[in-house]
């Protein structure tokens, strides 16, 4: 009898997990959240499902609930890098930049080469308007690996904020060489060119950004046409 109940319970959990995954794939995060919560009522300490729940909450921009769930996870696994980075990102989204920095720094004490924390720190420094530190920190990242377009991007934005437009354009060009559809880099390059009085080139960059945005919107509206 016990084995039968155990198998039945396992079957129910698998079904809840499967339904949650299906909803995530459809982008129905609210329904996915319902399935994951139902799962966790039966098996409260299932780490993969807790992480799936956190992902659904984050996708719904339910940031306070994300923090609450991450804190519960960190009580079990205090050095879980994914959870620490997730809390940093959530705090960043809440514009709690100093707190976000603490979690990125915590990850980097565990793993100094963690890419998400390294980039998270760079963008948090930028949000704090500490542009010189962004430039110094992004240099450290890029001496390890020059293939990170968003690191080039935040470095370029910091150069522009300091009116170092020529250097900013060089960084934007490096970012666009890696990802030619990096919209923010096209916009940023346009603004830097405008700062130098190179208005025609600035307009060309802005037009390119608009063109890429339009293509992206069309692909989201008509995915079959882009296959």
Alpha carbon of 213 to those of 175, 194, 216, 217: distances in Å?
17, 21, 5, 6
22 within domain boundaries: no
216 in a domain, yes or no? yes
Range of the domain at 176: 131-227
Which pLDDT score, from 0 to 100, does residue 199 have?
98
Give residue 128's pLDDT band: very low, low, confident or very high (50, 70, 90): very high
- Could you give the dihedral angle defined by the CA atoms of residues 37, 39, 40 and 42, in that order, rounded to the nearest 10 degrees? 130
Do 128 and 97 meet the contact criterion of CB atoms below 8 Å apart?
yes
Domain-located, residue 67: no
Give 43's DSSP letter: S
- Asked whether residue 64 is assigned to any structural domain, the reply reads no
Q: Is 222 helix (H, G, I), strand (E, B) or coil?
A: coil
Domain total in the chain: 1
Establish if 181 belongs to a structural domain: yes
Mean pLDDT of 189-209: 98
Mean pLDDT of 129-138: 98
Residue 95 lies in a domain: no
The CATH number of residue 209's host domain is: 1.25.40.10
**Residue 50 belongs to a domain:** no
pTM: 0.86
Q: Which band of pLDDT confidence, cut at 50, 70 and 90, is reported for residue 20?
A: very high
Q: What is the pLDDT of residues 44-54, one digit of tens each?
A: 999 999 999 99
Residue 183 forms part of a structural domain: yes
Alpha-carbon distance of 161 to 172, in angstroms, equals: 14
CA distance 71 to 194: 45
The DSSP secondary structure of 98-164, one letter per residue, reads HHHHHHHHHHHHH-TT-HHHHHHHHHHHHHTT-HHHHHHHHHHHHHH-S--HHHHHHHHHHHHHTT-
pLDDT at residue 8, as a whole number: 40
| pLDDT band for position 9 (cuts 50, 70, 90) | low
Task: Tell whether the model's pLDDT for residue 76 goes beyond 80.
Answer: yes
């Amino acid at each position: 009898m016990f084995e039968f109940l155990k198998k039945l319970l396992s079957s129910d959990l698998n079904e809840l997990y499967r339904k949650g995954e299906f909803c995530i794939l459809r982008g129905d995060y609210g329904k996915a959240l319902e399935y994951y919560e139902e799962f966790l009522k039966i098996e409260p300490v299932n780490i993969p499902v807790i992480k799936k729940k956190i992902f659904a909450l984050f996708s719904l921009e339910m940031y306070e609930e994300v923090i609450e769930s991450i804190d519960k996870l960190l009580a079990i696994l205090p050095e879980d890098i994914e959870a620490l980075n997730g809390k940093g990102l959530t705090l960043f989204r809440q514009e709690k930049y100093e707190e976000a920095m603490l979690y990125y720094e915590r990850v980097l004490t565990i793993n100094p080469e963690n890419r998400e924390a390294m980039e998270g720190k760079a963008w948090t420094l930028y949000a704090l308007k500490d542009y010189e530190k962004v430039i110094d920190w992004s240099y450290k990242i890029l001496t390890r690996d020059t293939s990170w377009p968003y690191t080039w991007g935040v470095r370029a934005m910091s150069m522009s904020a300091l009116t170092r437009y020529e250097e900013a354009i060089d960084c934007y060009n490096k970012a666009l060489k890696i990802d030619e559809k990096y919209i923010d880099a096209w916009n940023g390059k346009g603004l830097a060119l405008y700062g130098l009085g190179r208005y025609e080139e600035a307009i060309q960059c802005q037009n390119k950004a608009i063109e890429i945005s339009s293509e992206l919107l069309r692909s989201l509206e008509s995915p079959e046409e882009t296959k």
